[in-house]
Structures are given as C-alpha cells and as structure tokens.
C-alpha cells in the first residue's frame, strides 16, 4: 500500500467528503434502502493496474458489508474486457462509492499504463526510467507508487530527499563550482542521489564533474551532446537525461548510454484509463 494507514484513512475521508457532500440525493431518492445489487468493475482497454486495493478501501469505507472479490493485482497488465473486481451489497452504498473508487483507479492505472509504455521502449538498454516531482498536489505518493507499478524508479519524493542544484541555484551563487562547494559544506551528501547538478551545456557538465558532483542532470541536450557526455564523464559520474523527453524520443536517448532518463509526462500528463462498473441483473 503506498500510504500509511492513517494517511490512507485521511485521504479516503477527504475523497468521499468531496464527492458525496451532504448525501447522494439522487440515489436516496430513487433506490430503495433495502435494494441489493451485483456489479463488475472491468477494463475497457489494455491497462496496467494501480490502485485496486485503494478502490476496495474506498468502497468498504462507505459500507464494510459490501462483498468484494479482487481478481487482479497492482502491476499486472490486463486487456480490455477483463474483470477487475466483483461486488455485491447494498445498492445505495455501491452507487455512492462508485465514482470515487473509479476515479482513483482510473487515474493511477493511467499513470502506470503510460509508464509501462515508456519502460518498454528502453528495456533493451541499461537505462532506467525515473519519475519526477511534477505531480498533482497532495497526490505525489500515489502517483509515484503508480510509476513503480509501471516499472519506473522513484526519484526525489520531496525537496529534502537529496540535493539537486538547478540553473536558478547556480545563478544565485555565481557558478557551478560555488554551488557544489556550498552543498558539500552543508554536509547533505549522503542521500541516494548525492549531489546532482543540472547542466545545460557540456561546459557546465565538465565543471560539475571536476568540482565533485555525484550525478549530472543533462537538461535538453541533443543526442550528440549526450553521447559526448557519456564518453567524457560516464566513468566518473552518474548521468541522467531530462527535459522534453517524449515517447518518440526516449529510445534514442537511452541508446546514447546515459544511466537514467527522467520524464515528467508520466505523472503530469498521463490520461485516465477507461474502467467501468457494470451492474448485473
């Protein structure tokens, strides 16, 4: 589960409060309180599952008596028409929980599905796909969980998760060398990413590598520039390509020999997946 128990409880409470308001007046007005129904949640296209257990928790928060059978697990790819979950219970409660459960499953599975597509494009190389902090506010843990289900690696979860010196930091202190020296003096070099420096040019990359960076983020560099960076610095520092990476370009970027490629699109622009809840007579 991507969230701690209390985090999940709080998240679901906020989700349901936002959607239900003071009550599902349409369902209350039209459906008898004692009516039961059976339903199936199904994929309507090929998807990678993420969030199926959160969807279950949302439904059970509305009514713990609803019978739920989960037929798939997160990280599994299924084709359209496959049943993901079967439900049976109070009709009012299922109808009330439906949209919230579908929303989270569609959104997270959309991220996982797009991520898997990117991962497959580079699986013939030694390069790994990274996510970024470009996420919907308050949804980061869930979005990054979904990228893991798609096969990516998580990068920084938040700003205290490692030093990443970017162009504005460099501009503020005058040079790449000054920024790296300040970071080393601060003492925060023991994170998983060490000291990473964003480099727009090969000259900046050379300066950062010489000054003791652990990792270079090669931003918006051409394929030729990336190949030069790999040849010149690949045996000294970890190399990460970033900036404007698309599904059409990621394969060639990976083939330059960089260690990682970070892609904001997988969390920032992933479309929701088509999943439906169909009621059975």
Ordered per-residue pLDDT tens for the chain, 281 residues: 789 999 999 999 999 999 999 999 999 999 999 999 999 999 999 999 999 999 999 999 999 999 999 999 999 999 999 999 999 999 999 999 999 999 999 999 999 999 999 999 999 999 999 999 999 999 999 999 999 999 999 999 999 888 999 999 999 999 999 999 999 888 755 566 789 999 999 999 999 999 999 999 999 999 999 999 999 999 999 999 999 899 999 999 999 999 999 999 999 999 999 999 999 97
Alpha-carbon distance 238 to 107, whole Å? 32
Which pTM does this prediction carry?
0.95
Q: Classify burial at 25, counting beta carbons within 10 Å of its beta carbon; exposed 0-12, middle 13-18, buried 19 or more.
A: exposed
Do residues 38 and 67 touch, judged by C-beta distance below 8 A?
no
CA 275 to chain centre: 19
Residue ranges of the chain that CATH labels 3.20.20.70: 119-268
Active site members: 99, 134, 166, 198, 219
Query: In the block, which residue shows the tokens 């409470």?
Result: 13
Alpha carbon dihedral 228, 231, 236, 238, in 10-degree steps, equals 60
Q: Which CATH topology does 5-113+271-280 take?
A: Aldehyde Oxidoreductase; domain 3 (3.90.1170)
SS3 270: coil
Q: Give the Å distances, CA to CA, from 214 to 28, 156, 162, 257, 277.
A: 60, 15, 11, 17, 49
- Secondary element (H or E) of residue 109: helix 91-122
CATH match of 119-268 with 3.40.50.300: no
Q: Name the nearest CA neighbour of 39 among 108, 92, 104, 107.
A: 92
Residue ranges of the chain that CATH labels 3.90.1170.20: 5-113+271-280
State the pLDDT at residue 193. Answer: 72
Q: Classify burial at 19, counting beta carbons within 10 Å of its beta carbon; exposed 0-12, middle 13-18, buried 19 or more.
A: middle
């Amino acid at each position: 589960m991507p969230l701690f128990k209390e985090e999940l409880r709080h998240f679901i409470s906020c989700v349901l409060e936002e959607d239900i308001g003071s009550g599902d007046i349409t369902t209350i007005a039209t459906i008898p309180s004692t009516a039961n129904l059976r339903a199936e949640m199904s994929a309507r296209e090929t998807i990678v599952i993420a969030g199926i257990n959160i969807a279950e928790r949302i439904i059970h928060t509305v009514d713990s008596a609803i019978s739920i059978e989960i037929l798939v697990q997160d990280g599994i790819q299924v084709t359209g028409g496959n049943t993901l979950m079967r439900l049976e219970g109070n009709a009012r409660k299922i109808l009330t929980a439906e949209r919230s459960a579908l929303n989270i499953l569609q959104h997270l599975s959309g991220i996982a599905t797009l991520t898997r597509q990117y991962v497959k494009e580079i699986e013939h190389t030694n390069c790994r796909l990274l996510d970024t902090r470009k996420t919907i506010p308050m949804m980061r843990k869930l979005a990054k969980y979904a990228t893991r289900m798609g096969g990516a690696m998580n990068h920084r979860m938040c700003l205290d998760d490692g030093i990443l010196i970017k162009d504005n930091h460099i501009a503020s202190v005058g040079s790449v060398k000054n920024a790296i020296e300040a970071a080393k003096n601060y003492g925060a070099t023991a994170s998983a990413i060490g000291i990473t420096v964003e480099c727009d040019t090969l000259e900046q990359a050379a300066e950062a590598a010489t000054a003791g960076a652990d990792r270079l983020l090669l931003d918006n560099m051409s394929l030729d520039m990336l190949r030069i960076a790999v040849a010149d610095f690949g045996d000294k520092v970890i190399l990460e390509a970033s900036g404007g990476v698309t599904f059409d370009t990621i394969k060639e970027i990976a083939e330059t020999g960089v260690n990682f490629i970070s892609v904001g699109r997988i969390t920032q622009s992933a479309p929701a997946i088509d999943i439906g809840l169909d009621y059975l007579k």
